[in-house]
Structure 1
């Protein structure tokens, strides 16, 4: 943003004639002048704007450019004396403000007609004023026209086309090509494995990833290369299938220490807790130390009706057998605080 400032001297000839011919609320508009790429005028009301102010002259700055938006300008207007100098008592400076459609007026310079007419400032029945108008102007630089980053697209194409791939993974009967340097840059676990002990063996034979579904590993690779997981990030995807995938991806992201993907999956699961999935999500949170997800599940189950529905769900037996401690914690939370001793007994069992 830079400031363009210009000054103009405007003369309103025939002061007495305008005063006699124009009624209260009628105006004279100055010749337009240009500052900051916009057209401006001064609007002169010789008999005031409102009935209660008919004894006063009003002078406003007006933005004439109809399509202008958020134009920042500062405005000073002064009556000039016989020497062409501003008269302090007949001067007004507006602070910097924003002009736009529907808000195009400055604050007025208000002058009592009787005082002005008794002064020496009306020369040859002419009112002479000066406008000083600094306008903030936006300068478009090359930087503002730079296209958004497309790195994720190029890396995504690299994964899709398998160009220069130097690794092959075997996952659930499917093979996936990848690039050692990309995986090492995105995951500390892959970095430790691919740049050390697995370096020689991985080049010769596929690396087998066990205990993971092929579609989960495919989504994991997609995130590593593009930093996105469309299945979970699309607002309309709220089905149970996507929640299940979020759970699998959360475990995979934790396994390979991909922090942002863990946060995305944990948020997805935390925002879609229901009676059918809460037992599974709670077991997942407890087993892998996902504290935010665990707390969200426990808060949901604080309702007795939600708790009863969870007990009747398919995931309850798995939760009970795999994470009995979290069930004790949940029951202890549901016991009123006055039964603290019973709470301690449950937690000690």
Structure 2
């Protein structure tokens, strides 16, 4: 008698998605509402979800004439290479504890963002009168959160699949990092003095990671007598330690001090030695941690080191009258006036109407 064999198999088809949230604080609600016309908007800084760049558009007097009594918000696709991107989103008004207000929690269906410039949103997010009478407008400001989910495609998984060989991800960064950290490994052929500290490294790795070191070690008049020692001035040892770690590992250590001041110093070092990816990492971090005390010095750095994205983020932050006036009371503002007066002219021209008090004060300072 034949034996029955159960050959049942199963599979799961699932949608692959990527999600992220972007919090937007509207500071200076009344001023923005009074200055902008119906249909005019202010954009948030760009943020990345699903390998695409997006921003949120805020219409303080509605996106069209029939919505003039409302606040409108929309999600805007910025990436020029985008085509037929499917995404869904929500806009949520946040309370003083940054928790969503239940009555102002709008969730969309899935929309097709067919190309760059596509945008979807909520034309009647909240009546201006309702917001003004609510407890959520504090010191003329309120906060919303945009949750965005991008559909990346479909995947299937099943049982009784044929055995496969899984190749692990390469760990070249780990091996190169060991070359730097393992003191027992020979081969380091250059000594670098920074302040009172000494660092040992490999010329070939530094040259591969930095065009400045490459020129120093292997090109020009120095090629016949490649230096065995280098002294670096105008840089703290802690900053160089992070720079060196990144050149070997292509990442920063998890324990590095992530304060904005260190990120500023590291950005300067990355620019000096032409370590482009590290410069962008620092630029991104600073753009996410802009405040009134640091924005002036960060704006100077952005201008002096050609960080256009960071510069735009600073200018967007200073579009708030409250932020601008607070910045003008800091020591960094004095540094900004002396170092980059042209940026202040740009700030007046691009972001502030000529009749505003702060704009007039900056113009007087530049005389």
Q: TM-score, normalised by structure 1?
A: 0.55
The alignment status of 1:333 with 2:350, answered yes or no, reads yes
* Aligned equivalent of 1:251: 268
Task: State the Cα deviation string for residues 131-162 of structure 1 (Å, max 9, x = none).
Answer: xxxx98532322x1x33322212211111125
Give the corresponding residue for 2:338.
Answer: 321
Question: Rg larger in 1 or in 2?
Answer: 1
Change (3 A) 1:313 1:231: farther
State whether residues 71 and 136 of structure 1, in contact with CA within 8 Å, keep that contact through their aligned partners in structure 2: no
Q: Runs ≥4 in structure 1, deviation > 6 angstroms?
A: none
- CA deviation string 1:75-129 (max 9, x = no partner): xxxxxxxxxxxxxxxxxxxxxxxxxxxxxxxxxxxxxxxxxxxxxxxxxxxxxxx
Match of 2:288 in 1: 271
Q: CA deviation at 1:337?
A: 7.7
Hey, what's the Cα distance between the residues in 1 that align with 2:309 and 2:281?
12
Q: Given the superposition, is the C-alpha separation of residues 279 and 71 from structure 1 closer, same or farther in structure 2, using an over 3 Å criterion?
A: closer
User: Does 1:186 find its partner at 2:186?
Assistant: no
Which one has a larger percent helix, Structure 1 or Structure 2? 1
1:305 is aligned to 2:333: no
CA contact (8 A) 2:292 2:327 kept: yes
CA distance in 2 between partners of 1:320 and 1:252 (Å):
24
Q: How much is the aligned-residue C-alpha RMSD, in angstroms?
A: 3.1
Distance, in Å, in 1 between the alignment partners of 2:5 and 2:293 is 70
Please name the residue that 1:70 is paired with. 12
Distance in 2 between the 1:268 and 1:303 partners?
21
C-alpha distance 198-174 of structure 1, shift in aligned 2 (>3 A): farther
Distance 1:270 1:335, change over 3 A: closer
Alignment partners' CA distance in 1, 2:262 and 2:308: 19
Deviations 1:60-87 (A, max 9, x none): xxxxxxxx65289xxxxxxxxxxxxxxx
Taking the aligned partners of 1:71 and 1:283, their CA distance within structure 2 comes to 51
Distance of aligned partners of 1:325 and 1:308 in 2 relative to their CA distance in 1, 3 Å threshold: same
- Cα 1:176–1:198, aligned 2, differ >3 Å: closer, same or farther? farther
1:275-323 deviation per Cα after TM superposition (whole angstroms, max 9, x unaligned): 1111110010011111110010000001111011111123121111111
**2-side partners of 1:231 and 1:141: how far apart?**
34
Q: Per the alignment, in what secondary structure is the counterpart of residue 170 of structure 2? A: coil
Asked whether 1:160 is paired with 2:178, we answer no
Looking at structure 2, the residues matched to 176 and 337 of structure 1 have their Cα atoms a distance apart, in angstroms, of: 53
* Alpha-carbon distance between aligned partners in 2 of 1:337 and 1:278, rounded to the nearest angstrom: 22
- Superposition pairs for residues 165-244 of structure 1, below 5 Å? 165-196=188-219, 197-204=221-228, 206-230=229-253, 242-244=259-261
Residue segments in structure 1 that go unaligned for 5+ positions in a row:
1-30, 40-67, 73-134
Q: Give me the TM-score of the superposition, normalised by structure 2.
A: 0.52
Closer, same or farther in 2 for the Cα pair 1:320/1:32, shift >3 Å? farther
Task: Please tell me whether the aligned partners of residues 218 and 226 of structure 2 are also in contact (alpha carbons under 8 angstroms).
Answer: no
SS in 2 for 1:315: helix
Which structure exhibits the higher relative contact order, with contacts defined as CA atoms closer than 8 Å and separated by 6 or more residues? 2
- The corresponding residue for 1:34 is 6
Aligned residues: 214
Q: Is the 8 A contact 1:156 1:222 kept in 2?
A: yes
Q: Give the secondary structure class of the aligned counterpart of 1:230.
A: coil
